[in-house]
Structure 1
Amino acid sequence: MTVSLRGTREVRDTYQIFRLTGLLDAFSEPVFRKVIGNYIDDGPKNIVLVLAQIDFIDSSGLGALVQLVKKAQTGGGTLQIVTNPRVTQTVKLVRLEKFLSLQPSVDAALENLKK
């Protein structure tokens, strides 16, 4: 990713988990969107983004999340977002909490994939 955004990727049979730390902002967004988008293309199509350690998200980051959700859905998958209070507050300000499928934990996100 970038200096302001770091992450790890874990691949399972039917899903991928990305654990991110740092800032999801205008600076990191282009690389974030491209990298995650490529992994959605490569599969598996179900994605869990763990943003619990994200310190800041701006409108560019929110836009990237919306684009990635649409990309996952178009490919027949889903994108679940594990969040923290700061990210949740920002998402709720723009009323995207249902569309972005915010989850309180990785376990909840994985359980939601089974539905």
Structure 2
Amino acid sequence: MTVSLRGTREVKNNYQLFRLTGLLDAFSEPTFRRVMGRCIEEGPKHIILDLSKIDFVDSSGLGALVQLAKKAQTAEGTLQIVTNPRVTQTVKLVRLEQFLSLQNSVETAIENIKG
């Protein structure tokens, strides 16, 4: 069995940056959801997900992103997603581009964080 999702975590003063590669799908979604949930609880509450190197997101992955956005909002934080054309297309298919706060670059996402 292969690990379909890999990533790194950087914790800064007021945000966490995750750079992910691989597939955000039904196989990786349970672990992704568990790990990200724990990271939001640990803080900081503002999350930047760099999915620009992700190859594929399926409906399970989209569901996990929506849950993550809700969890960040509940914790009075934010979730921003740095995307690529493939991820953007998938998100737009289900009309979630506003809710999921898609960004073109990590730098833009960092600038959007208040406080």
Q: TM-score range by the shorter chain?
A: over 0.9
> Partner amino acid for 1:86?
R
* Structure 2 counterpart SS, 1:98: coil
Q: Distance in 2 between matches of 1:109 and 1:14?
A: 12
Q: Distance in 1 between matches of 2:114 and 2:85?
A: 25
Q: Distance in 2 between matches of 1:58 and 1:111?
A: 29
TM-score after normalising by structure 2: 0.97
Q: Distance in 2 between matches of 1:113 and 1:94?
A: 26
Match for residue 108 of structure 2?
Answer: 108
State the shift of 1:8 in Å.
0.1
Q: Distance in 2 between matches of 1:13 and 1:114?
A: 12
Q: Distance in 2 between matches of 1:93 and 1:111?
A: 27
Q: Does 1:8 align with 2:8?
A: yes
Percentage identity across paired residues of the two chains: 76
Q: Distance in 1 between matches of 2:58 and 2:64?
A: 10
State the shift of 1:114 in Å.
2.6
Aligned length: 114
Q: Which of structure 1's runs of 4+ aligned residues deviate more than 2 A?
A: none
Match for residue 83 of structure 1?
Answer: 83
Match for residue 94 of structure 1?
Answer: 94
CA RMSD of aligned residues (A): 1.1
Per-residue displacement from partner, 1:53-98 (whole Å, max 9, x unpaired)?
Answer: 0000000000000000000000010000000000000000000000
Map 1:1-115 → 2, pairs under 5 A: 3-114=3-114
Q: Distance in 1 between matches of 2:112 and 2:65?
A: 18
> Partner amino acid for 1:58?
D
Q: Distance in 1 between matches of 2:112 and 2:85?
A: 20
TM-score after normalising by structure 1: 0.97
